[in-house]
Structure 1
Amino acid sequence: MSGHQDDYHALVARHEAMRLRNRLLSPASGARTTAPGSGPVPVPGAYDDAAGAADQALVLRHLAAVTPFGELIDRLYESMFGRHPYLRRLFPDSMEFQRSHLERAFWHMIDHLDRPAELAADFARLGREHRRLGVLPVHYEVFESSLVEGLRLCAGGAWSGAAEAAWVRMHRHVSAAMVAGANEALGEPVAWNATVTAHERVGPDLALLRVRPAEPYPYRAGQHARVETPLLPHTWRPYTPAGVPGDELEFHVRRTAPGGVSDALVAHTGVGDVLRLGPPQGTATLDEELTDDVLIVAGGTGWAHAKALLDELSRRRPAGLTARLFLGARDAGGFYDEAALERLEARCPWLGVTRVVDGGPSGPDGRGALMDAVLGSRTSPTDWSGSRQLVYVSGPTGLVAATAWHLTEAGLPPERLRHDPMPVSSPAVPALQP
């Protein structure tokens, strides 16, 4: 085993040295056309919409043979770790989240295969993020062979060679996007160490953390960072710094389940502990030139994102520009950062704030009180087609998705709606899932 492992690491080292050399010698290596994580990365050889739709139809036609995906995923990892046991260290001790993440990724791939450019953009972002886990291009080849073995074992005699080929092309499309995304970020640090300087419990399941990175952390207000705690190696969760860049970052963390990253950060982290931050990601930031009024819809700890935008807006707002914040919480105690919000209101007369206690869907079309308040802020609630506001949405994935849907249904032009892309591992049920 030791000899095989040494050969493997030598191969990886040579591959990475060649990749870095090619990157440095590329004529475009010194020119970045977009901010880190802010736009799609071109994927060489990506197929067009028609080819993607054809493969999507093939995969769907034979999907019953390999779903539910639980058995396929178990077979895949058994094959991968059986043949390459040293890869197990790239994964967290508990594989429960990883299996769930991969299942949602499979559905996302299938659901978006007829839109290959959009799919490539999603997985390019994922590839950037996977750099911090030590994932290299050679690992995608290992994953592909394990996937094929898993498909064959799971489906047995019912399997089709045409369907297998479609799965392989689909995987190569997204893995090429992930490699391209990682290559685009090759000159960036993989992670930043950050020391916890303050930890305040503001509720049974909620904490505000301040951390000081060892080196400057180059994010823009509104971007998020994936955070790793030493209590759960290889497990990362996204949190948005609640302010403009400075010496320290403030994170708002709600504990969502026992044993996870949020539980570790809320209940088992203290001053002096060292966390790791992944590269900044996200595009729900203010424009370089501020010309339009701003409307922000935030729920729960989505307030951190809203707070960052408003902090930046207060520093560079042109005369005459206004902002409106609709902040939702499940109960009155959910407005956990009220003192900071009141200070912001006091010094920003151009800002209007509406607090909404929203216990869940109650209005027509399943809307909740927060959405009713937002729609009711216009003279014509059902016609947003003429809106000149830029609308930012942050909070739980379900709230973001529902708000985006209701506003676009009301006619808000999609280009005036800003939120982070729904993550590939989004808990939302994909449209194609039976």
Structure 2
Amino acid sequence: MTTVNADYHALLARHDAMRLRRQLLTPGQRPDGAPAVHEAARTYDGAADQRVITHHLDLVTPFDGLISHLYDAMFAQRPFLRSLFPASMEFQRKHLADILRYLIDHLHRPEEIVAVFTRLGRDHRKLGVRPAHFATFETALREALHRSAGPRWNEAMEGAWLRMLRFAVAAMVEGAEAALAEPPAWQATVTAHQVRRPGLAVLRVRPHEPYPYRAGQYASVASPLLPQAWRQYSLARAPWPDGELEFHVRRTGTGGVSEALVAHTRVGDTLRLGPAGGTMTLDDPLTRDVLLVAGDTGWAPAKALLEELAARRTAHRTAHLFLDARSGLYDIESPTDLERRHPWLRVVPVLGEGPATDPYRRLAEVVGRHGDWSEHVAFVSGPPALVGATVDRLAAARLPAARVRHDPLPVTAPPAGARRAVGGAAADGG
């Protein structure tokens, strides 16, 4: 980080310490006196606002223009906020567009909005976002909506948008407040860096403080080469006493975080990590056999889950792992070694390519033909096309969606029967 940003984050840390102290002295009270967001979710009529917003959505879509106006207005009001964002705003603009689409699509399910945005508020602490910044964002959004929609814009539309925004922001603030006892971000030293094949590296890092996470989750990672840019990558190791973490990173573009991590990161470098996220985790206790389907760097979370299964010594449970080898597995020793050492594990490599329009159809079909998975719990990780095809096939095989787990698919992708970049969190756009 620059000296200015380092000073800013140090100041925020002191403020957080004071807020945490007040929170401990007055438990159960929100600093602003507002009701808990879960209470608000029971009374908020999100479906009504959703109808208003979607009925007039053509006035502000595509979102490119709206988001450009928003950031122009926000940085004009508070120029210092620009330093909290990366030099290139391309990924940020896409990310905000995805968030807006998600909000609008799920507004009729307020409890789900609360769950997602409390986690988002916790995660945004690493960026230096403060509750006061949301007021600036709201003013900028109002101006951007007026500029994008033109003379047809009216108070009813504006009211629906602002209620939606304030509801999501309340959840984010509550999530941030609940996380005051943990660091906004963790410093971690790179202890190993191996390029396994062109454009793909495996990194080991050791956090300077204990880093809490579970097998199957992902972490946001920032390189000092691009200090304000964060991308999410799955953790490829179950928690171990040595505290080291592992990431499998594919370079997905030039000039972005993935290139910095693959091509320009060395042993001894320091990275920053955001809090772990994701719900692709094993039940406790584990009451069902396990199906894992993985491809490309989606092998990372599958590897972590298998390590946890091995550590649990669940001899009465079986696990099947289907691995897509379309582009050649870069870590072949790990799955074959795991299968050799654990009789409860079966590894099925799937070779061959599907059609260009549906490259993972064959993998999904092999999984579907291989057995009856209706009583299993499934974990699917890899590129969005792999996850979508496999989730659809498992749904057709009568495996309930509640037992098919994966990281959220991109908002722009067609829904595939269930729930960001997907396992391996490799769709980072850079």
Aligned counterparts, 1:168-207, within 5 A: 168-207=162-201
Cα distance, 1:154–1:47 mapped onto 2, change above 3 Å: farther
Corresponding residue of 1:23: 23
The question of whether the paired residues in 2 share the 8 Å contact of 1:107 and 1:430 is answered with no
Cα distance, 1:141–1:101 mapped onto 2, change above 3 Å: same
Corresponding residue of 1:428: 413
Aligned match of 1:415 in 402, 412, 427? 402
Aligned to 1:342, what secondary structure does the other structure show?
A: helix
Q: TM (normalized to structure 2)?
A: 0.86
Tell me the CA shift for residue 25 of structure 1: 2.9
The question of whether the paired residues in 1 share the 8 Å contact of 2:353 and 2:359 is answered with no
Code of the aligned partner of 2:335: L
Tell me the CA shift for residue 403 of structure 1: 2.2
Aligned to 1:208, what secondary structure does the other structure show?
A: strand
Tell me the CA shift for residue 369 of structure 1: 1.1
Corresponding residue of 2:379: 392
1:365-411 residue CA offsets vs partner (Å, 9 max, x unmatched) = 996111011101125xxxx5xx2211111112332233223322332
Code of the aligned partner of 2:38: V
Aligned match of 1:258 in 254, 259, 263? 254
Corresponding residue of 1:353: 347
Taking the aligned partners of 1:298 and 1:55, their CA distance within structure 2 comes to 39
Q: Is 1:144 aligned with 2:138?
A: yes
12-21 vs 67-76, which deviates more?
12-21
1:19-75 residue CA offsets vs partner (Å, 9 max, x unmatched) = 43442134469xxxxxxxxxxx953422557x2111111111221221221111111
Code of the aligned partner of 2:144: G
Q: Is 1:403 aligned with 2:390?
A: yes
Corresponding residue of 2:290: 294
Q: Is 1:371 aligned with 2:364?
A: yes
Q: Is 1:46 aligned with 2:66?
A: no
Tell me the CA shift for residue 259 of structure 1: 1.1
Code of the aligned partner of 2:398: G
Cα distance, 1:368–1:140 mapped onto 2, change above 3 Å: same
1:146-191 residue CA offsets vs partner (Å, 9 max, x unmatched) = 0001111122211121001100011011111111111221111111
Two-structure CA RMSD over aligned residues (Å): 2.6
Q: How many residue pairs end up in the alignment?
A: 400
Aligned counterparts, 1:36-185, within 5 A: 42-46=37-41, 51-185=45-179
Taking the aligned partners of 2:14 and 2:185, their CA distance within structure 1 comes to 23
The question of whether the paired residues in 1 share the 8 Å contact of 2:315 and 2:344 is answered with no
Q: Is 1:284 aligned with 2:280?
A: yes
Give the gaps of 5 or more residues in structure 1: 1-7, 30-40
Aligned to 2:67, what secondary structure does the other structure show?
A: helix
Code of the aligned partner of 1:273: D
The alignment-based identity, stated in percent, is 57
1:301-345 residue CA offsets vs partner (Å, 9 max, x unmatched) = 1101011011111121223211100111323xx211011222111
Aligned to 2:370, what secondary structure does the other structure show?
A: coil
Cα distance, 1:47–1:79 mapped onto 2, change above 3 Å: farther
Cα distance, 1:298–1:13 mapped onto 2, change above 3 Å: closer
Tell me the CA shift for residue 362 of structure 1: 7.9
Tell me the CA shift for residue 290 of structure 1: 2.3
The question of whether the paired residues in 2 share the 8 Å contact of 1:397 and 1:426 is answered with no
Q: TM (normalized to structure 1)?
A: 0.86
Code of the aligned partner of 2:113: L
